[in-house]
């Protein structure tokens, strides 16, 4: 039985994943608190997942769930330049980003977040410093050749989907 360890996006609060954690035991016989056989990373956490896998010494497949991906090798920041520019414009005078829910135009989250949950999610989202996306990391050697998979819910991460396909 697959027992995933979910690496949530640092941009979202835990409640964004609550229904996923609650549904797993009921629907698939999974437990949210078991030894992992997969590392599942969502959204911005995809940039960090290969580092987490390596640093923690996890010998498990990495599953990117609608997630950003680091390059196959080399150094990278936690946001591509266009996103970094957008976030700089959104940051307040103290350099803090608004909650993730406010990064997008009105209505952009209608298909992603149920309307009756948006206010709760918005209130719980962390306010990270824009400097967060400037952190530079080095992709672990050979991370993309280790067991990995990509789970896409649409074309939001089209470049990552293409990269994952090219890496096999």
- For the stretch 139-149, pLDDT in tens is 999 999 999 99
Residue 123 sits in the same domain as residue 158: no
State the total domains in the chain.
2
Q: Looking at residue 34, what is its pLDDT?
A: 41
Q: Quickly count helices (H) and strands (E) in the chain.
A: 5, 6
Residue 144 sits in the same domain as residue 65: yes
Residue 20 sits in the same domain as residue 53: yes
Q: What are phi and psi of 82, to 5 degrees?
A: -65, -40
Cβ distance 61 to 149 under 8 Å?
yes
H or E segment at 149? strand 148-151
The count of other CB atoms within 10 Å of the CB of residue 100 is 22
Q: Looking at residue 23, what is its pLDDT?
A: 57
Cβ distance 139 to 167 under 8 Å?
no
Domain that holds residue 48: 1-73+140-168
Pairwise CA distance, residues 89 & 83, whole Å = 10
Residue 38 sits in the same domain as residue 90: no
Residue 69 sits in the same domain as residue 83: no
pLDDT digits (tens, 9 = 90+) for 147-158: 999 999 989 899
Residue 117 sits in the same domain as residue 144: no
The residues, any chain, with a CB within 8 Å of residue 137's CB and separated by 6 or more, are 47, 48, 51, 70, 75, 76, 77, 78
Residue 5 sits in the same domain as residue 67: yes
pLDDT digits (tens, 9 = 90+) for 78-124: 999 999 999 999 999 999 999 999 999 989 999 889 999 999 999 99
Q: Looking at residue 30, what is its pLDDT?
A: 46
Cβ distance 99 to 125 under 8 Å?
yes
């Amino acid at each position: 039985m697959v027992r995933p360890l979910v690496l949530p996006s640092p941009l979202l609060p835990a409640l964004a994943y609550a229904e996923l954690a609650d549904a797993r035991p009921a629907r698939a016989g999974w437990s949210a608190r078991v030894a992992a056989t997969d590392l599942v990373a969502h959204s911005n956490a995809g940039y960090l997942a290969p580092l987490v896998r390596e640093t923690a010494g996890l010998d498990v497949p990495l599953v990117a769930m609608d997630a950003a991906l680091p390059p196959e090798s080399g150094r990278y920041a936690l946001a591509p330049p266009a996103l970094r520019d957008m976030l700089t414009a959104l940051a307040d005078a103290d350099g803090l980003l608004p909650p993730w829910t406010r990064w997008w135009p009105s209505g952009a989250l209608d298909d992603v977040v149920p309307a009756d949950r948006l206010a709760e999610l918005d209130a719980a989202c962390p306010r990270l410093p824009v400097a967060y996306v400037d952190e530079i990391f080095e992709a672990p050697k050979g991370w993309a050749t280790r067991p990995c998979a990509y789970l896409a819910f649409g074309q939001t991460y089209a470049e990552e989907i293409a990269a994952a396909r090219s890496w096999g």
